[in-house]
Structure 1
Amino acid sequence: MAMNERMRPLILLLGALLMLAPTPAMAWWELGHETVAKIAARNVTPRTRAAITALLRHAPDIQTPECPINTIEGASVWPDCIKTLGDRFSYQYNWHYQNLSICQPYDVKAACPDGNCVTAQVDRNFRLLKDRKVPARERLMALAYLVHFVGDLHQPLHAADKGDLGGNRQKADYGIYTTPKLNLHTIWDGWLAERSIISPPPLVRVYTPAERAEMGGGTTEDWSRESWTLSRDLAYGLALGGNACTIPGDTRAKLNAAQINRLVPAVRLQVERGGLRLARLLDEALR
């Protein structure tokens, strides 16, 4: 057997490992949120785009130089960045998700005490952004929260779980890559999101009116229920191989190559929906 034939299986294995290896700082946390924001920015009206630019000029008033908020992409990750600033913004930690059980009937109100969940905060920050009597500094913060939380709501494991912190306690394998620390939330936030977003064709573009009507409609609660269903049926159901609520909590989830390929279109659709729905909210708030 020639040397290149003997080495071929090893080369293929190394290539697969490189494709599955984590990429620093390129996940739903950054790439996903920024992509949702970019889709929205490309699909709002010129008047809305000008209003966003005007609000972004107030970035110095917020006084978070460690977390720039000079662009809509910066605004999309600002609510995560300010988590590092300690007590100043600690009040907003619970706004990024909701502990809505996939093993119980859908009831977002019961899972959202005092408005401290992502669905309620999308609505709250939409109202603040729309209210011209609110100071520009506060409206800019509302803009950043709105952009970010619409993205969070469209990541199914931010919208529902099975009592495991959105899959953070659900150990999982991603293709041939397995490690004791790898969990389902990290897969959806990171590797699966990155693979889905960078797969062609590009997601950031001007969508047709028909596409915007099809993907951009519904209420915040509609989107919440939709993500809850995806969390139950795809995020948990596919990885655990059936009804996740009847499977022991210490069962390790597994996603093989075929399952990952099945999930990619679903993740891409969620990013598109998030961007177009955000565009609609921004047009309504800033018109």
Structure 2
Amino acid sequence: MGVSGLLWTVRVLVLLQLVTGILGWGKEGHYVICKIAEGYLTAGALAAVKELLPESAQGDLANVCSWPDEIRFHYHWSSALHYVDTPDFRCNYEYCRDCHDSAGRKDRCVTGAIYNYTYQLSSAYPNSNSFSDYNLTEALMFLSHFIGDVHQPLHVGFLGDLGGNTIQVRWYRRKSNLHHVWDTMIIESALKTFYSSDLATMIQAIQNNITENWSNQEPLWEHCGRNQTVCPNPYASESVSLACKFAYRNATPGSTLEDDYFLSRLPVVEKRLAQAGIRLAATLNRIFASQIEIAQA
């Protein structure tokens, strides 16, 4: 292989690493979010979700919540929809300023995608002339995934480091980047350290926190102002604020992140998983409640 061929290969490998890094909480995180959401769906919303799920889900939304990550190499256009970049060190998010892809095309970001797929489901389910215009099964899976993504603080991180993807760190002894730490490694370490590597035990612990420690906050998490069906902009604002306060802090390039970082950031991660699950359920409840009422009328 010549020098030019070697350089091309290196560039492709780097690009693949970055693309992989921007696309999700990781399979475990998305499973947790959708499993929590299932427990808060109304009977009508649950029936609608089960009707739209693909056969591969076996009636369980959590089984397909990672689907948008799995098809990213087939649906190349969807890569920009998993995140939104914000100006470096501003620590704030503005839809009009920030929601665009790398080519500057407006509305192509995670919050724009959430609005889009909410509209598709709201306008086309269950009895509408526009039903055939959209793939509602895909809309459901994309929406469920992206509501999860917008709650990961570094999915609303800084443009200059691609949401922490270019910040190389060590997670204990393992080489990684900061974005990957927040997508998967904090959750993986928590599973091994506190939950006997059992995801169901972790989910139950988060659900217990929702009903016991966060019960007074849950109605606020569910609420959307001005009678909106979905409201991802506040979620994105929360995420970039948490990115500045917790994700980026004490995580400079080349640093080693160990117990101090892990134990102080895990509560943030678990609460974001809980908020995402509650808000996903609330959004689906609003979508399908309004559509069922229309159908009955």
TM range (shorter): 0.7 to 0.9
Q: Given residue 97 of structure 2, which amino acid in structure 1 is its aligned partner?
A: A
**Residue 6 of structure 1: aligned partner:** none
Could you tell me which of 41, 52, 66 is aligned with 2:49? 52
CA contact (8 A) 2:154 2:243 kept: yes
Identity %: 26
Could you tell me which of 13, 28, 31 is aligned with 1:31? 28
* Aligned equivalents of 1:76, 1:178: Cα separation in 2: 27
Query: What TM-score does the superposition give when structure 2 sets the normalisation length?
Result: 0.72
Could you tell me which of 231, 242, 255 is aligned with 1:230? 242
**Residue 41 of structure 1: aligned partner:** 38
Residue 139 (1) aligns with residue 157 (2): no
Residue 217 (1) aligns with residue 223 (2): yes
* Aligned equivalents of 1:172, 1:217: Cα separation in 2: 37
Structure 1 gaps of 5+ residues are 1-26, 61-67, 241-250
Residue-by-residue CA offset, 1:19-64 (whole Å, 9 max, x unaligned): xxxxxxxx932000111001100111111111111112xx37xxxx
Change (3 A) 1:270 1:83: same
**Residue 78 of structure 1: aligned partner:** 67
Change (3 A) 1:206 1:40: farther
Query: What TM-score does the superposition give when structure 1 sets the normalisation length?
Result: 0.75
* Aligned equivalents of 2:44, 2:209: Cα separation in 1: 16
* Aligned equivalents of 1:239, 1:262: Cα separation in 2: 13
* Aligned equivalents of 1:54, 1:171: Cα separation in 2: 43
**Residue 19 of structure 2: aligned partner:** none
**Residue 177 of structure 2: aligned partner:** 183
Could you tell me which of 98, 107, 118 is aligned with 1:126? 118
Residue 194 (1) aligns with residue 188 (2): yes
* Aligned equivalents of 1:260, 1:194: Cα separation in 2: 11
Deviation at residue 164 of structure 1 after TM alignment:
1.5
Deviation at residue 205 of structure 1 after TM alignment:
6.3
CA contact (8 A) 2:164 2:177 kept: yes
**Residue 107 of structure 1: aligned partner:** 94
* Aligned equivalents of 2:158, 2:164: Cα separation in 1: 6
Deviation at residue 102 of structure 1 after TM alignment:
4.0
* Aligned equivalents of 1:236, 1:153: Cα separation in 2: 17
Q: Give the superposed CA RMSD.
A: 2.4
CA contact (8 A) 2:111 2:232 kept: yes
Deviation at residue 204 of structure 1 after TM alignment:
4.5
Change (3 A) 1:178 1:80: closer
**Residue 156 of structure 1: aligned partner:** 153
Deviation at residue 151 of structure 1 after TM alignment:
0.7
**Residue 7 of structure 2: aligned partner:** none
Structure 2 gaps of 5+ residues are 1-23, 101-105, 196-201, 225-230, 290-297
Change (3 A) 1:206 1:47: farther
**Residue 243 of structure 1: aligned partner:** none
* Aligned equivalents of 1:122, 1:231: Cα separation in 2: 20
